[in-house]
Each structure stands twice: as C-alpha cells, then as structure tokens.
Amino acid sequence: MMRPLALAAAASLLLAACSSAAATPTTRDQSTDVPFTGCDQVACTGSINGAAYEILMPETWNGTLLLYSHGYRPAQPFPPNFDPVNTSATPVPGWDGGERELGEALLAQGYALAGSSYSSNGWAVEDGVRAGKEIYDFFAGNVGTPNRVYVWGDSLGGLVTQELAENAEWVDGAAPLCGVMAGLVPNMGIALDTVYSVQQLLYPDMKIDDYASYEEAVQAWEGAASRLIESARDQDTDAIAKILTIAAVVDAPDQTYRFDGSDIVSKVSGTVEALLTAVGYGTVGRQEIDERFGGNVAGNETSEYASRISEAEAEAIDAIGGEGAAARNAAILDAGPRVAADPAAQAAALERGGDPSGAVLVPTITMHTKADPLVIVQNQTFFRDRYNAQVAAGNAKSELVQTFTVAPGTYSQETGAPYGAGHCNFTPESRIAVISLLDNWVKNGVYPGTAAIQEAMGPLSGYSANYSPGPWPNPLAVVTE
C-alpha cells in the first residue's frame, strides 16, 4: 500500500531551484484554469476497442493531461502468486487497486489523469501504444484540448511511454518509471541466460524454450523454483556457489523488497528471490511472448558467460564453493548447448514488442530503483548508450535526465524496503516530484539539475545523485546504431 502523503507536501513544491542548463521555454498556453467538459456530460469510464479506460478530472484544470500506461499484466496467472489476471483501467498508479493518495494529490494540483487497460494482456506493447493514442484522441475530442500532455508509466508501461514519446507528436514530456528501456529482445535475452544457467548448473532436466503450452512453462518454473529454494535452504555450498554464479552472469541483485542483503543469509535469500523472478519471465513470460511473435525472440548462441563474472564476484563464489568454483561453473555455461533465436520472430519482436531508439525529442525523466529484480537497473545504461549515440548523430536533443533511488542499508523483512529495492518501489512523494520537475522543465524551461531533484524528492525518497548503474550484462546485445 502507498503511504499517505505528508500533507501532500510534494503537491506544492516550488521548483525554482536553479540548474546548470535550461531548455527553451514552451510557447504553449500556460493558463491555470482551462475549460473542459465534465464527467457529468462525457463518459469518463468505458471501453475503446477492447481497452477499458478511465479519466479523472480536477475541479480546476491546469491544462495538463497526465496519460498513464500500466505495467506488465500476465495473460494467465503468473508465478509466484498466480493471482487472477487484471484487465481494469488504471488512470494513475494504484488507483485500480483502491489506493487514492497519489491520484488525489495530483488532482489537487490541477492535473487531468487518464489511463486504460490494453486490448490484450501479456507483452502487449503494441496494444499499449495504441490504447494511449486512442485515449488521447478521445480526451482531446470530448473532454478538452490539453495545453500539455505528459506520458508516464511503470515497467512495461515505461516502455510503452517511451514508444509514445518517440512516435506521438502530441507528447510534450515523458516519465518512464522502472521502465524496460532496453526493449523486449535484450531483456528476454537476459531471462534466457537465467533459465539456461539454472538448467546447466542446477536442473539438467529443465526445458528452457519451445514450450508447447502455458502449463508446460509453469511446470518448468515450478521445477526450477523448487531446485533454487531447496539448494539455498539445505545450505548446499556447491549449489549456493552455482546460484551466485548465475546471479553474476545476469547481474541479478542480492537485495530485494524483502531482503536487505546486509549479511550472507540475506544476500543469498535476496539472490534466490531475484532469480525466481527472472525465471518466471524466462518460462511463463517467454511462452506467451514466443507465442505472440511466432517463435524464439531471443537466443544465447553468442553469449560469453565467463567474461561476465568480475574478479570480486569470482572471489565471493570461490569463498563458498571452494577454490576455482567460479571458473568451473563458467566453463560449464560456456560449453553448454545453446538456444537459437528465430529470425522472423525476433524481427517481429523488435518491430512490435518495444525497441526504443533513444531518439529523445521531449523533456524526459526516468526513475529506477537500484535493486530491481525484475527490470534490472542496467536497462537505464542500455538506453543512455542509445540516447548518446542518437545525440551524437543529431537525432536527439539533450533532454534526458535519469534518476535512481537507493535502499537503506538495513530494513526488516516484515516491513520491506521503503524505497530503492524492489520493482517500481517508489514513494508517492518521489513520483509527484518527477511530475513536478517535468512540468517545470516543459512549462518554464528549467532543466532539473541535481539540486532541484534533491529538493523535490526530499530526504525520504532514497534519491542518490551519486549512484550510476553498470553496463548491460551482455555487451554483445548492445547496439547503439
């Protein structure tokens, strides 16, 4: 649950804090009381081409529309909880689950809020982009003409957000949060590396591709999950060394929402939890994705595993598994049989599954937790590399700001991390800060420098100006052109 906002303090931030650079101020209307047709005359809930939508209007509209894209929703119940699938509209994070604080704070600032489900669940980036365009058209045609439109979204919705920002001319600013910024194919490559490594080191009978059905993929996940959990629980040092090897080659964090990684037990527990998350997407997620695009969208034929294990990681692995454990495990991985991508399926995934070019043309602020077990934080490095290449080629503007939150050194398993660890685990105040910073940048040309970000985020957000994620785990997957 989101914590109540402290007197909605973030809603009244005055972000005149200066910065080292400034964009050209927008010439759009900056009225703070823009006329609109209310929900008593317009259907603010409904369905457009199979996607449920919801619009929330403030009493006085500031002329800005926040268009939200939700994260990944499985097509069928997904591990580890196997909750029922969700097809509800989401105009603001948490709203469809009954959490109102964030939405009410943004409405109090005068923003109009809109969001929808997608016409299908699963890796539905194409459907998400279409839904975003259609709800914008509906809003502009029936509710009112926005002076500004900011697109934002979480996780898969962050990828949808970036695709909208790169392809929809009506977008004025973007905030992809915990986003899959490397796109589908590189992320599924890391998921494949995870299940391949589990198969080779821990579970030889595991099937890792060409699942005939959802049920077969679930069976593969259950077997892998059992092997990972039992290995850690039995304190099998050889198996734990193999678990740490798998984590090293895919850069899985050893800190999660529940485990702070402050001692070896917590580190191993966090690593196992992170790997279980990745295995879920490498099995059940992969089955839906490969079915959607017609075959294996990612392969590991060119993966070089030994080179991904750093000296420090090798020392930690050897300390548990014995001298040479890291090298032995890596040799097994490098010698194992590989999975090939289907060229046509991969081409379809690159075209329709989300593949941001990095051509940033509007003010864009990203936010990511340092320890994200699902969408690893190195997604931001991958995207920045592409962005830098586009800037160098003259295809992008210098309008990208990346922010990161870092968890405290210790926290209880019962309460969980307050921020910085876990997928999309942000405070409501930090979300409002991102929107306020983006608004000030678009409307007033104030580039959000470090001091402005720190002031907006506040001391309890986990924002770190000094943290920077490392490179993408598989350097062979990075394409900057």
Find the CATH number of the domain harbouring 41. 3.40.50.1820
Q: In terms of domains, do 88 and 54 share one?
A: yes
Residue 110 falls inside a structural domain: yes
User: Domain total for the chain?
Assistant: 2
Residue 4 falls inside a structural domain: no
Residue 428 falls inside a structural domain: yes
Q: In terms of domains, do 13 and 93 share one?
A: yes
Q: In terms of domains, do 276 and 193 share one?
A: yes
Q: In terms of domains, do 381 and 469 share one?
A: yes
Of 328, 348, 368, which residue constitutes the final position of a domain? Answer: 348
Q: In terms of domains, do 206 and 335 share one?
A: yes
Residue 442 falls inside a structural domain: yes
Residue 3 falls inside a structural domain: no
- What is the residue range of 201's domain? 185-348
Helix pair 343-352, 286-293: axis angle to 10 deg: 100
Q: In terms of domains, do 16 and 158 share one?
A: yes
Q: pTM of the full predicted structure? A: 0.92
Of 310, 328, 348, which residue constitutes the final position of a domain? Answer: 348
Q: In terms of domains, do 177 and 121 share one?
A: yes
Q: In terms of domains, do 43 and 115 share one?
A: yes
Q: In terms of domains, do 274 and 235 share one?
A: yes
Residue 2 falls inside a structural domain: no
**What is the full per-residue pLDDT of the chain (481 aa) written as tens digits?**
333 333 233 333 323 333 334 444 444 567 788 999 999 999 999 999 999 999 999 999 999 999 999 999 999 999 988 999 999 999 999 998 888 999 999 999 999 999 999 999 999 999 999 999 999 999 999 999 999 999 999 999 999 999 999 999 999 999 999 999 999 999 999 999 999 999 999 999 999 999 999 999 999 999 999 999 998 888 889 999 999 999 999 999 999 999 999 999 999 999 999 999 999 999 999 999 999 999 999 999 999 999 999 999 999 999 999 999 999 999 999 999 999 999 999 999 999 999 999 999 999 999 999 999 999 999 999 999 999 999 999 999 889 999 999 999 999 999 999 999 999 999 999 999 999 999 999 999 999 999 999 999 998 999 999 999 999 998 876 554 4
Which residues, listed in sequence order, are joined to residue 176 by a DSSP beta bridge? 153
Residue 1 falls inside a structural domain: no
Q: In terms of domains, do 179 and 192 share one?
A: no
Residue 300 falls inside a structural domain: yes
Q: In terms of domains, do 169 and 102 share one?
A: yes
- The amino acid occupying position 442 is V
Q: In terms of domains, do 271 and 129 share one?
A: no
Of 294, 329, 348, which residue constitutes the final position of a domain? Answer: 348
